[in-house]
A and B are shown apart, each in its own frame.
Chain A
Amino acid sequence: MLVPFADILLISVVLFVVGAAALIMRRNAVAALMGVELMLNAANLNFVAAWRYLWPERLDAQVAVLLVITVAAAEAAVGLAIILNLYRKFGTVDLEQIRLMRG
């Protein structure tokens, strides 16, 4: 059942789930952020597929993708700066060992 629209949605679902799993499972904070990037990419792919197959004459989805990419860039810069700070403070970016608020 090679349905282009459904296929692309399926690919983006798998990509999103893999990203979410990376966010939950990886112990390295930078690797967890990579999971966030995967999830954002999956969402963008959904936007573009919806634009192409459902509303090809409206460009709202492409504008949304542009804004998501902007937010992703800002998120990556600030998130990685925070991780850099964590590394200076704790000497590691292992999320299992950074347990200041766990008591």
Chain B
Amino acid sequence: MTQIALTGFNIALIVLALITLIGALRVIGTRSVIHAAFWLFPVFAGIAGFYLLLGAQFLAAIQVLIYIGAILVLIIFAVTLTRNAMQTDEATTNTFGFPVFLAALVLIVAVVGAALRTELPQPVMALTSRQVPNDFGGTTTQYTPSQTELRKLEDVYLVPTHLATRTDPETPGLPVSEVPALGVVLLQQYLLPFEIASILLLAGMIGAIVLARKERKDGETAATDADNKTSDAPARESVEV
């Protein structure tokens, strides 16, 4: 067991963990559904902070755009459309309360126990690597790829060589910015899942419109169901950025 090092990284980690987990507990614990929806904001923002902390800048931006900008707004729309927003007098949880609490504890203990017994998988690529002791008790594999390995990196994983070689001196093997490489990987190696995701979004958009519109009776004008469609609009626009 090592001493807790109060580096900036660890302080940020603790603060983000507190924000995220307190938000999540409030989401499940608060009586008012609209308050629960608003408590989702610190959770999503905290996750975006984790992404930034771990070096995934693009994902942090996407998290803010989609989760906070679209899904959260969509959820708040749904809450206000389906109930009186400030009404809190009815019971919020069903009778499963205590069993669920026990099951949650058991699940956490089981997963943590399994994780502690699991040997973490070695990186798939056989780069020239050496084991160096790290500040959290174990060893970390550091990579110093040779020229042939760099070429393999470019051939097999389609990461441009000039990106793979530009590594941060403090964290070897981690590119300074992975955003350009992510674009390359997404549109070459993962082009088919990317396109399938587009079709899924289109299907979801059409499905949401079809499901949410009122069945129009005779004599009813188109203006009456315009308000139903507005709830879907933010998600669609942001998702397709």
Contact = CB atoms under 8 A, between A and B. Distances in A.
B63 A69 contact: yes
A78 to B, nearest CB: 5
Given A15-B20, A84-B228, A55 B124 contact: yes
Contacts of B66: 69, 72-73
B182 A62 contact: yes
B47 A44 contact: yes
A59 interface: yes
B108 A17 contact: yes
B201 A84 contact: no
A8 to B, nearest CB: 7
A31 B33 contact: yes
A60 B56 CA distance: 12
A9 to B, nearest CB: 6
Contacts of B201: 70, 73-74
B232 A24 contact: no
Contact of A65 (B28, B59, B200, B214): B59
Interface in A1-48: 1-11, 13-15, 17-22, 24-31, 33-35, 37-38, 41, 44-45, 48
Contact of B197 (A7, A8, A49, A71): A71
| A-side interface mostly | helix
A61 to B, nearest CB: 9
Nearest to A84: B212
B77 to A, nearest CB: 8
Contact of A83 (B78, B125, B136, B137): B78
Interface string A62-94: 110111011111111110111111011000111
A27 B82 contact: no
A69 B56 CA distance: 14
B113 to A, nearest CB: 11
A62 B205 CA distance: 24
A102 interface: no
Contacts of A60: 185, 190
By CB atoms of chain B within 10 A, which of A14, A19, A55, A59 has the most? A59
B94 A67 contact: no
B75 A30 contact: yes
B237 to A, nearest CB: 11
Interface string B30-70: 00010011001001100100110011101100110011001
A58 B25 CA distance: 34
Contact of A25 (B93, B159, B173, B228): B93
Interface in B114-134: 115, 120-121, 123-125, 127
Contacts of A29: 82
Nearest to A73: B239
Given A3-B136, A34-B36, 9 more contacts: A15-B43, A17-B107, A22-B28, A54-B123, A57-B123, A58-B159, A66-B62, A71-B197, A77-B207
The 3 A-B residue pairs with the shortest CB-CB distance in the complex, in nearest-first order: A74-B204, A81-B211, A81-B212
